[in-house]
Protein backbone atom coordinates (compact mmCIF):
# COMPACT_ATOMS: atom_id res chain seq x y z
CA UNK A 1 0.00 0.00 0.00
CA UNK A 2 1.25 3.52 -0.77
CA UNK A 3 1.62 5.97 2.06
CA UNK A 4 -1.43 7.87 0.84
CA UNK A 5 -3.51 4.69 0.57
CA UNK A 6 -2.55 3.83 4.16
CA UNK A 7 -3.40 7.33 5.35
CA UNK A 8 -6.78 7.25 3.62
CA UNK A 9 -7.54 3.82 5.12
CA UNK A 10 -6.62 5.03 8.61
CA UNK A 11 -8.67 8.20 8.17
CA UNK A 12 -11.68 6.26 6.90
CA UNK A 13 -11.37 3.98 9.93
CA UNK A 14 -11.33 7.01 12.25
CA UNK A 15 -14.38 8.52 10.56
CA UNK A 16 -16.25 5.20 10.69
CA UNK A 17 -15.44 4.92 14.40
CA UNK A 18 -16.76 8.43 15.00
CA UNK A 19 -19.97 7.56 13.13
CA UNK A 20 -20.38 4.33 15.08
CA UNK A 21 -19.45 5.43 18.58
CA UNK A 22 -19.76 9.21 18.82
CA UNK A 23 -22.99 10.26 17.13
CA UNK A 24 -24.27 12.84 17.02
CA UNK A 25 -21.04 14.23 15.64
CA UNK A 26 -20.32 17.24 13.45
CA UNK A 27 -17.49 18.34 11.19
CA UNK A 28 -16.43 22.01 11.32
CA UNK A 29 -15.36 22.85 7.77
CA UNK A 30 -13.49 26.03 6.88
CA UNK A 31 -13.91 25.00 3.21
CA UNK A 32 -10.11 24.88 2.79
CA UNK A 33 -8.18 22.00 1.15
CA UNK A 34 -7.93 19.77 4.26
CA UNK A 35 -11.63 20.21 4.94
CA UNK A 36 -12.49 19.27 1.37
CA UNK A 37 -10.58 15.97 1.81
CA UNK A 38 -12.69 15.19 4.88
CA UNK A 39 -15.87 16.38 3.13
CA UNK A 40 -15.12 14.00 0.26
CA UNK A 41 -14.47 11.06 2.58
CA UNK A 42 -17.52 11.71 4.79
CA UNK A 43 -19.98 12.28 1.95
CA UNK A 44 -18.76 9.44 -0.27
CA UNK A 45 -19.08 7.03 2.67
CA UNK A 46 -22.50 8.54 3.52
CA UNK A 47 -21.47 8.82 7.15
CA UNK A 48 -23.92 10.40 9.62
CA UNK A 49 -21.57 13.28 10.43
CA UNK A 50 -23.14 16.70 9.80
CA UNK A 51 -20.96 19.33 8.10
CA UNK A 52 -21.13 23.01 9.02
CA UNK A 53 -19.15 26.20 8.37
CA UNK A 54 -18.83 29.43 10.30
CA UNK A 55 -19.99 32.22 8.00
CA UNK A 56 -18.19 35.06 9.78
CA UNK A 57 -19.39 37.80 7.42
CA UNK A 58 -15.77 38.48 6.40
CA UNK A 59 -15.04 35.49 4.14
CA UNK A 60 -13.59 35.76 0.62
CA UNK A 61 -16.04 35.34 -2.29
CA UNK A 62 -13.90 32.35 -3.36
CA UNK A 63 -14.55 30.69 0.00
CA UNK A 64 -18.28 31.36 -0.16
CA UNK A 65 -18.29 29.92 -3.70
CA UNK A 66 -17.22 26.59 -2.17
CA UNK A 67 -20.69 26.19 -0.69
CA UNK A 68 -22.19 25.92 -4.18
CA UNK A 69 -19.31 23.75 -5.37
CA UNK A 70 -20.02 21.26 -2.58
CA UNK A 71 -23.73 21.33 -3.38
CA UNK A 72 -23.09 20.80 -7.11
CA UNK A 73 -20.54 18.01 -6.55
CA UNK A 74 -22.12 16.05 -3.72
CA UNK A 75 -25.71 17.30 -3.55
CA UNK A 76 -25.01 18.33 0.04
CA UNK A 77 -25.87 21.64 1.67
CA UNK A 78 -23.37 22.71 4.33
CA UNK A 79 -25.06 24.21 7.39
CA UNK A 80 -24.01 27.80 8.16
CA UNK A 81 -23.63 29.40 11.58
CA UNK A 82 -23.41 33.19 11.68
CA UNK A 83 -22.45 35.62 14.47
CA UNK A 84 -25.13 37.39 16.52
CA UNK A 85 -25.82 40.60 14.52
CA UNK A 86 -26.09 42.76 17.65
CA UNK A 87 -22.67 41.61 18.90
CA UNK A 88 -21.05 42.44 15.54
CA UNK A 89 -22.79 45.83 15.42
CA UNK A 90 -21.67 46.70 18.96
CA UNK A 91 -18.03 45.72 18.25
CA UNK A 92 -17.91 47.70 15.01
CA UNK A 93 -19.67 50.74 16.51
CA UNK A 94 -17.30 50.81 19.48
CA UNK A 95 -14.01 49.82 17.82
CA UNK A 96 -14.33 50.16 14.06
CA UNK A 97 -14.75 47.55 11.34
CA UNK A 98 -11.10 46.43 11.29
CA UNK A 99 -10.08 46.91 14.93
CA UNK A 100 -8.53 43.42 14.93
CA UNK A 101 -5.34 44.98 13.49
CA UNK A 102 -4.90 47.08 16.65
CA UNK A 103 -4.03 44.36 19.18
CA UNK A 104 -4.18 40.63 19.85
CA UNK A 105 -6.99 41.31 22.34
CA UNK A 106 -9.10 43.16 19.77
CA UNK A 107 -8.42 40.42 17.24
CA UNK A 108 -9.43 37.69 19.67
CA UNK A 109 -12.60 39.58 20.57
CA UNK A 110 -13.55 39.77 16.89
CA UNK A 111 -12.82 36.02 16.53
CA UNK A 112 -14.84 35.35 19.68
CA UNK A 113 -17.88 37.16 18.27
CA UNK A 114 -17.62 35.93 14.69
CA UNK A 115 -16.29 32.39 15.26
CA UNK A 116 -16.14 31.14 18.84
CA UNK A 117 -19.71 31.97 19.89
CA UNK A 118 -21.26 30.56 16.68
CA UNK A 119 -19.05 27.47 17.07
CA UNK A 120 -20.53 26.90 20.52
CA UNK A 121 -24.02 26.89 19.02
CA UNK A 122 -22.92 24.56 16.21
CA UNK A 123 -21.39 22.07 18.65
CA UNK A 124 -24.16 22.09 21.25
CA UNK A 125 -25.75 18.70 21.78
CA UNK A 126 -23.05 16.71 19.99
CA UNK A 127 -20.79 14.01 21.39
CA UNK A 128 -17.84 14.78 19.13
CA UNK A 129 -16.58 17.24 16.59
CA UNK A 130 -14.18 16.82 13.73
CA UNK A 131 -11.62 19.29 12.35
CA UNK A 132 -9.26 19.32 9.38
CA UNK A 133 -6.23 20.43 11.41
CA UNK A 134 -2.85 18.89 10.63
CA UNK A 135 0.17 18.65 12.92
CA UNK A 136 2.56 20.07 10.31
CA UNK A 137 0.52 23.24 9.78
CA UNK A 138 2.16 25.43 12.43
CA UNK A 139 4.00 25.73 15.72
CA UNK A 140 0.67 25.96 17.52
CA UNK A 141 -0.38 22.55 16.13
CA UNK A 142 2.86 20.61 16.68
CA UNK A 143 1.35 18.36 19.37
CA UNK A 144 -1.96 17.72 17.70
CA UNK A 145 -3.47 14.24 18.16
CA UNK A 146 -6.04 12.38 16.09
CA UNK A 147 -8.29 12.12 19.14
CA UNK A 148 -8.38 14.66 21.95
CA UNK A 149 -10.49 15.26 25.01
CA UNK A 150 -12.01 18.72 24.46
CA UNK A 151 -12.90 19.70 28.00
CA UNK A 152 -13.82 23.23 26.93
CA UNK A 153 -16.73 21.96 24.84
CA UNK A 154 -17.38 18.85 26.93
CA UNK A 155 -16.91 16.45 24.05
CA UNK A 156 -14.34 14.50 22.09
CA UNK A 157 -12.50 16.26 19.28
CA UNK A 158 -11.10 14.40 16.29
CA UNK A 159 -8.39 15.63 13.93
CA UNK A 160 -8.40 12.73 11.45
CA UNK A 161 -5.77 14.41 9.22
CA UNK A 162 -3.30 15.03 12.06
CA UNK A 163 -0.70 12.77 10.39
CA UNK A 164 -1.20 14.06 6.84
CA UNK A 165 1.34 16.29 5.09
CA UNK A 166 0.36 19.13 2.78
CA UNK A 167 1.54 16.96 -0.13
CA UNK A 168 -0.79 14.13 1.00
CA UNK A 169 -3.71 16.55 0.99
CA UNK A 170 -3.03 17.72 -2.56
CA UNK A 171 -2.27 14.21 -3.83
CA UNK A 172 -5.68 13.13 -2.53
CA UNK A 173 -7.47 16.16 -4.00
CA UNK A 174 -5.94 15.66 -7.44
CA UNK A 175 -6.39 11.87 -7.49
CA UNK A 176 -10.07 12.19 -6.57
CA UNK A 177 -11.02 15.40 -8.41
CA UNK A 178 -12.10 17.02 -5.17
CA UNK A 179 -13.27 20.64 -5.63
CA UNK A 180 -11.08 23.18 -3.84
CA UNK A 181 -10.97 26.87 -3.01
CA UNK A 182 -9.56 28.92 -5.92
CA UNK A 183 -7.46 30.94 -3.43
CA UNK A 184 -5.16 27.93 -3.01
CA UNK A 185 -3.92 28.57 -6.57
CA UNK A 186 -3.20 32.21 -5.69
CA UNK A 187 -0.68 31.63 -2.87
CA UNK A 188 -3.07 30.97 0.00
CA UNK A 189 -2.25 27.59 1.62
CA UNK A 190 -4.28 28.52 4.71
CA UNK A 191 -7.53 30.48 4.38
CA UNK A 192 -9.49 32.39 6.98
CA UNK A 193 -11.37 35.70 6.91
CA UNK A 194 -10.42 37.99 4.01
CA UNK A 195 -8.93 40.90 6.02
CA UNK A 196 -6.88 38.50 8.18
CA UNK A 197 -5.40 36.29 5.45
CA UNK A 198 -2.80 37.15 2.85
CA UNK A 199 -0.96 35.16 0.17
CA UNK A 200 2.47 33.83 1.20
CA UNK A 201 5.82 33.81 -0.58
CA UNK A 202 7.51 30.53 -1.59
CA UNK A 203 9.32 29.06 1.45
CA UNK A 204 7.17 30.82 4.05
CA UNK A 205 5.39 28.82 6.74
CA UNK A 206 1.96 27.64 5.50
CA UNK A 207 0.19 29.70 8.15
CA UNK A 208 2.40 32.77 7.72
CA UNK A 209 -0.44 34.50 5.88
CA UNK A 210 -2.86 34.19 8.81
CA UNK A 211 -2.85 37.21 11.18
CA UNK A 212 0.59 37.95 9.68
CA UNK A 213 1.06 41.01 11.90
CA UNK A 214 1.03 38.83 15.08
CA UNK A 215 3.61 36.63 16.81
CA UNK A 216 3.33 32.98 15.56
CA UNK A 217 2.52 31.77 19.10
CA UNK A 218 -0.72 33.77 19.23
CA UNK A 219 -2.05 32.64 15.85
CA UNK A 220 -5.18 30.72 16.69
CA UNK A 221 -8.68 32.05 16.34
CA UNK A 222 -9.98 30.76 19.66
CA UNK A 223 -11.74 27.75 18.19
CA UNK A 224 -8.97 25.70 19.74
CA UNK A 225 -8.35 27.89 22.80
CA UNK A 226 -9.67 27.97 26.35
CA UNK A 227 -9.47 31.16 28.41
CA UNK A 228 -7.06 32.58 25.88
CA UNK A 229 -4.65 29.66 26.17
CA UNK A 230 -3.96 27.02 23.59
CA UNK A 231 -5.55 23.72 24.42
CA UNK A 232 -3.60 20.67 23.42
CA UNK A 233 -5.18 18.11 25.61
CA UNK A 234 -3.59 14.74 26.14
CA UNK A 235 -4.12 12.15 23.48
CA UNK A 236 -6.87 9.64 24.08
CA UNK A 237 -6.06 6.09 23.07
CA UNK A 238 -7.97 5.01 19.99
S1 LIG B 1 -10.20 36.10 11.43
FE2 LIG B 1 -10.19 38.39 11.49
S3 LIG B 1 -12.18 39.08 10.67
FE4 LIG B 1 -12.32 36.85 11.08
S5 LIG B 1 -13.24 36.74 13.08
FE6 LIG B 1 -11.00 36.68 13.41
S7 LIG B 1 -10.32 38.81 13.66
FE8 LIG B 1 -12.44 38.85 12.86
pLDDT of residue 214: 82
Q: Is 219 annotated as a binding residue?
A: no
pLDDT of residue 235: 44
Q: Is 110 annotated as a binding residue?
A: yes
Residue among 105, 107, 224 whose CB has most ligand 1 atoms within 8 A, to mutate: 107
pLDDT of residue 207: 79
pLDDT of residue 140: 66
Q: What does pLDDT average to over the chain?
A: 90
Give the global pTM. 0.88
In-domain check, residue 236: no
In-domain check, residue 174: yes
Instruction: Categorize the per-residue pLDDT at 84 as very low, low, confident or very high, splitting at 50, 70 and 90.
Output: very high
In-domain check, residue 235: no
> Residue 223 above 70 pLDDT?
no
pLDDT single digits (tens) 88-110: 999 999 999 999 999 999 999 99
Total structural domains within the chain: 1
> For the residues 210-233, what does the mean pLDDT come to?
61
> Is any ligand 1 atom within 6 A of the Cβ of residue 56?
yes
210 or 168: which leads in pLDDT: 168
In-domain check, residue 111: yes
Q: Which domain holds residue 221?
A: 3-230
CB 157 within 8 A of CB 148: yes
pLDDT of residue 206: 76
What CATH number does residue 89 fall under? 3.40.50.620
Atom of ligand 1 nearest to the CA of 110: 8
In-domain check, residue 99: yes
In-domain check, residue 237: no
> Residue 17 above 80 pLDDT?
yes
In-domain check, residue 153: yes
> Residue 50 above 50 pLDDT?
yes
Amino acid sequence: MSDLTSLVAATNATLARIAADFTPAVFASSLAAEDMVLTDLILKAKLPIGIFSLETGRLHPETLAMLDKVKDTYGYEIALYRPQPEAVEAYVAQNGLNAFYDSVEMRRECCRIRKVEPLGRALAGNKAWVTGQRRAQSATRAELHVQEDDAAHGMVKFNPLADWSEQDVWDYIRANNVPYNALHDQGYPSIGCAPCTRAIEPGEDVRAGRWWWENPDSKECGLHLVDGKLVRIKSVAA
